């Protein structure tokens, strides 16, 4: 429970509560008596509670805040924070109870009402009650149309449900608000959402709509890699191979570091239009432009290997392994190439020499608390200073064939 995420959300909950409190007047008439809102903050329990919260000790924080609420005439803000803390602890039912009880108060103002419903929406979301969460955030926006938290939570929920059009509309509302976020960041997100809408059209085989969506994604953000790949795929399915090639080459011009995503597509397409040497030219151009590019070397090596150029391929792979000794795909390609050459001892020895000094983690371990990595088992973590948190780190065998398709 005591992890950075919990701490962060607890602090956010606290800040939200404080912001609401600030916007609140000091005195308020309730149940026929004036309540001094400042009394809550003067209470030693309130300060103690906040201190525990900052130290990420949620249980004692709750205990103190309950006392503070009691001694200050049960102010709304403390109960909102308490509900949020129950939610952070995973006690969603209790959080919902706490927040729903606040809705029963007859003296809620519009903005207070909106904030309580927002908390409830977060409770429902945490509990997995998607429909009720959607309803709650929509209700918040009815009361407070520009509420940023409601909009961004709504967007994430729509995304989780793959309701891309709704997510898109919500992000547009977020972008229309005046905030610190630059338009570029909104366009980046909108481009990914356009791309998803295009993928849906592609699944329906509505190529015209798909191409329109992918084009719109590129117009929004010219660095959106999947849109270029998908736009090229649409043209390819429609039989326009040169058009597809042009789209994939545009991706490489825009983001050379993402070029490898288009390698297998381009290799096939060039061959199809009778221009096989174009692929080798492309890879050589990329290697010349970026001497660190091991992916272009790997792709060129595979391309040459399949055309009888195993010896040249092996040289490229030896360069590549020096650039990225951790990439298992290069080791595999080297062994495939070596065995196609019948394991000449000289070249096998060169491989052994090249990889001898590689900085592999000989016996990788990881701290389960803070993800610190170590090359051996440690009893105390040098990063988070916790005892006995190291566990053997193993990379699970890959299940899909994605890497062979895209590299």
Is 372 a binder of Zn ion (CB under 5 A)?
yes
C-alpha 327: how far from its chain's center?
A: 23
Q: How far is the CB of 6 from Zn ion (least distance, A)?
A: 16
Ordered DSSP codes for 150-211: HHHHHHHHHHHTT-HHHHHHHHHHHHHS--SS-HHHHHHHHHHHHHHHHHHHHHTT-HHHHH
Inter-residue contact 389 to 369 (CB < 8 Å): yes
- Interaction between residue 381 and Zn ion (CB under 5 A): yes
Question: What DSSP element (H or E) covers 20?
Answer: helix 4-22
Phi, then psi, of 27 in degrees rounded to 5: -110, 150
- Cα distance between residue 67 and residue 295, in whole Å: 61
> Taking CB under 5 A as the rule, does residue 384 contact Zn ion?
yes
Residue from 126, 130, 383, 393 binding Zn ion (CB under 5 A): 383
Report how far residue 175's alpha carbon sits from residue 169's, in angstroms, rounded to the nearest whole number: 10
For residue 367, state whether it binds Zn ion (rule: CB under 5 A): yes
Question: Judged by CB under 5 A, which stretch of 18-26, 81-89, 322-330, 365-373 contacts Zn ion?
Answer: 365-373
Secondary structure (3-state) at 105: coil
Beta bridge partners of 29: 34
Task: State which residue, 81 or 367, has the beta carbon closest to Zn ion.
Answer: 367
Q: Residue 29: phi, psi to the nearest 5?
A: -85, 120
- Give min distance, CB of 382 to Zn ion, in A: 8
Among residues 301 and 381, whose Cβ is nearest to Zn ion? 381
| Residue corresponding to tokens 């309803």 | 135
135 vs 386, beta carbon nearer Zn ion:
386
Three-class SS of 335-392: HHHHHHCCCCHHHHHHHHHHHHCCCCCCCCEEECCCCCEECCCCCECCCCCCECCEEE
Map the footprint of Zn ion across residues 80-119, applying CB under 5 A: none
Size of the site for Zn ion (CB under 5 A): 7
User: Which range binds Zn ion by CB under 5 A, 10-18, 69-77, 327-335, 381-389?
Assistant: 381-389
Q: Which residue, 138 or 388, is less far from Zn ion as judged by CB? A: 388
The verdict on 225 binding Zn ion (CB under 5 A) reads: no
* Nearer of residues 284 and 373 to Zn ion, judged by Cβ: 373
- Shortest approach of Zn ion to residue 4 CB, angstroms? 11
Q: Report the nearest approach of Zn ion to the CB of residue 369 (Å).
A: 5
CB of residue 378 to Zn ion, shortest distance in Å: 9
Closer of 290 and 374 to Zn ion (Cβ): 374
Rule CB under 5 A: say whether 369 interacts with Zn ion. Answer: yes
Residues that bind Zn ion (CB under 5 A): 367, 369-370, 372, 381, 383-384
């Amino acid at each position: 429970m005591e992890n950075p995420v919990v701490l962060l959300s607890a602090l956010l909950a606290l800040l939200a509560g404080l912001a609401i409190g600030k916007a609140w007047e000091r005195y308020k008439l309730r149940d026929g008596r004036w309540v001094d809102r400042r009394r809550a903050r003067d209470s030693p329990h309130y300060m103690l509670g906040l201190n525990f919260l900052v130290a990420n000790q949620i249980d004692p924080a709750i205990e103190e805040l309950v006392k503070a609420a009691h001694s200050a005439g049960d102010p709304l803000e403390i109960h909102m924070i308490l509900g949020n803390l129950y939610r952070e602890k995973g006690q969603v039912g209790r959080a919902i109870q706490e927040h729903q009880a606040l809705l029963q108060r007859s003296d809620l103002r519009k903005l207070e009402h909106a904030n309580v419903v927002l908390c409830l929406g977060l409770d429902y979301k945490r509990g997995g009650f998607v429909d009720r969460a959607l309803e709650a955030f929509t209700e918040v926006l009815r009361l407070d149309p520009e509420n940023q938290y409601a909009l961004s939570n709504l967007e994430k929920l729509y995304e989780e449900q793959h309701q891309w059009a709704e997510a898109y509309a919500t992000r547009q509302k977020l972008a229309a608000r005046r905030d610190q976020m630059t338009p570029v960041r909104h366009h980046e997100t909108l481009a990914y959402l356009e791309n998803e809408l295009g993928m849906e059209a592609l699944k329906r085989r509505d190529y015209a709509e798909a191409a329109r969506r992918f084009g719109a994604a590129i117009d929004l953000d010219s660095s959106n890699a999947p849109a270029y790949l998908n736009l090229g795929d649409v043209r390819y399915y429609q039989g326009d191979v040169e058009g597809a090639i042009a789209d994939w080459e545009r991706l490489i011009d825009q983001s050379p570091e993402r070029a490898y995503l288009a390698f297998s597509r381009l290799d096939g397409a060039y061959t199809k239009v009778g221009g096989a040497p174009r692929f080798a030219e492309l890879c050589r151009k990329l290697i010349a432009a970026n001497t660190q590019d091991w992916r272009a070397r790997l792709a060129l090596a595979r391309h040459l290997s399949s055309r009888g150029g195993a010896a040249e391929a092996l040289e490229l792979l030896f360069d590549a392994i020096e650039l990225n000794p951790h990439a298992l795909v290069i080791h595999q390609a080297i062994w495939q190439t070596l065995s196609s050459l019948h394991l000449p001892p000289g070249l096998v020895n060169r491989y052994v020499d090249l990889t001898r000094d590689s900085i592999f983690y000989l016996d990788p371990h990881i701290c389960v608390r803070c993800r610190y990595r170590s090359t051996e088992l440690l009893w105390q973590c040098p990063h988070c200073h916790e005892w006995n948190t190291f566990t053997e780190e193993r990379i699970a065998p890959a299940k899909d064939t994605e890497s062979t398709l895209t590299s």
